[in-house]
Amino acid sequence: MGDIIIGQAWRKNHIFYLAASDSNSGPSKIENKVEKEIKRLESGDEDARKDAAYALLELANENIPSDLKQKMTAPLARALGDKNERVRDFAASGLIFLATPENSPAVRSAAVDSLIVALKDKNATVRQAASNALFRLAQSGLSPSLKSRIVPSLIEATKEGNMFVPEDAARALCYLVGPDIPADLNRKIVDCFIELLVGSIHRDYVGAAFSSIADAKISPELKSRALDAIIGALRHSDYVIRETAASVLGDFGKSDSPPAIRQKAMDALFKALRSEYSDVRFSAAETLGDLAGSGIAPDTKARAVAFLIDSMSDDDWFVRGYVVDALADYAKSNVPPNLKSRITNSLIGALRDGNESVRNDARLALEDVGRSDISPELKARISKALR
């Protein structure tokens, strides 16, 4: 439980003497303590509610009977709508503790069910607290059955108007896609992410969403479907989506991707270097540079270098600067001597570029390559060019 953050602990100037930690406390005393705190949690006194929410949070993390923990879930879920932020935070954290593997299946199920219900509450504050709690649970780990249970509600939550709820829901789904849930739910998550991509909805999380699909152990058919959407997004009207799409292609092009997926992603990246959009071209160049040390096949590296060298004639100096950096990445990676030589020649040529920024980038790149593991002959050529 150490990896779940419950926020800054709030305490008044007194110490909570929890019945669960009192060696003289019997079962009836613990039950009385739980019932007392539940009543205080629903009182009109704000300080009392804060004390009660914190007390229940700590009780949720104590070794007390499961039936008492189950009794706490509904009141804590209702407290997600409290006007006091501390009460809401403690209530959400209490439900998170109750949903963790340390508790019985019945308690975990009750806690998750309470959060699912709260996710549809008419109060936006309650929905926001519930979506954040479910994200934190997804991040920390849930059983396959609980993962499957929350996916449909999270997908629905990505469509609501409150800004924070869909973001938390989308982030949670990134941790849920994979072999632990049925194939039809994986398909629904992929469809959800495609809808977010096409609609340019919550674009800050689209990259993470599709990266999670690229990394997930799901069927090649679903990965290919997601990849087709990313390739299509290279022509999106929103430049942020276009840049994100070019960047995510690198996740699908990694050496551990299925061969057909990897090939399709790399072909799309090479084609993106000739896009009509300069933002796609520089993002593609940057992505190809990031892949230089990722273990991609030698023939793919050779193709990448050839396309990048060709892009040194791009009419946008900003793109050329990214191409210089990418070529330097390949020169420092494990490529054959002939490729290192071609890259070096291209970088030396960039020292005469018409743009000062590109010339400076080329100089820095050559200095960097000169410090790497290259032949004495190449070192001499670089040294001469930099004089």
Q: What SS3 string covers the chain?
A: CCCCCCCCCCCCCCCCCCHHHCCCCCHHHHHHHHHHHHHHHCCCCHHHHHHHHHHHHHHHCCCCCHHHHHHHHHHHHHHHHCCCHHHHHHHHHHHHHHCCCCCCHHHHHHHHHHHHHHCCCCCHHHHHHHHHHHHHHHHHCCCHHHHHHHHHHHHHHCCCCCCHHHHHHHHHHHHHCCCCCCHHHHHHHHHHHHHHHHCCCCHHHHHHHHHHHHHCCCCHHHHHHHHHHHHHHCCCCCHHHHHHHHHHHHHHCCCCCCHHHHHHHHHHHHHHCCCCCHHHHHHHHHHHHHCCCCCCCHHHHHHHHHHHHHHHHCCCHHHHHHHHHHHHHHHHCCCCHHHHHHHHHHHHHHCCCCCHHHHHHHHHHHHHHHCCCCCHHHHHHHHHHHC
The reported pTM is 0.82
Q: Are residues 100 and 167 in the same domain?
A: yes
Indicate the residue among 248, 282, 299 that finishes a domain.
248
Q: What is the CATH number of the domain that holds 5?
A: 1.25.10.10
Q: Are residues 19 and 137 in the same domain?
A: yes
Each of the 387 residues of the chain gets a pLDDT tens digit; together they read 334 444 433 333 333 334 334 434 556 788 899 999 999 999 899 999 999 999 999 998 888 888 888 898 889 988 888 888 889 889 988 888 888 877 888 888 888 998 998 888 888 888 888 898 899 889 888 889 999 999 999 999 998 877 789 889 999 999 999 999 999 999 999 999 999 888 766 677 888 999 999 999 999 999 999 999 999 999 999 999 999 999 999 999 987 788 999 999 999 999 999 999 999 999 999 999 999 988 888 999 999 999 999 999 999 999 999 999 999 999 988 889 899 999 999 999 999 999 999 999 999 999 998 888 888 998 899 999 998
Asked if the structure places residue 328 within a domain, the reply is no
Asked if the structure places residue 79 within a domain, the reply is yes
Asked if the structure places residue 96 within a domain, the reply is yes
Q: Are residues 153 and 218 in the same domain?
A: no
Q: Are residues 104 and 200 in the same domain?
A: no
Q: Which domain holds residue 110?
A: 1-176
Indicate the residue among 196, 214, 248 that finishes a domain.
248
Q: Are residues 25 and 152 in the same domain?
A: yes
Q: Are residues 57 and 125 in the same domain?
A: yes
Q: Are residues 113 and 47 in the same domain?
A: yes
* Number of structural domains the chain divides into: 2
Asked if the structure places residue 324 within a domain, the reply is no
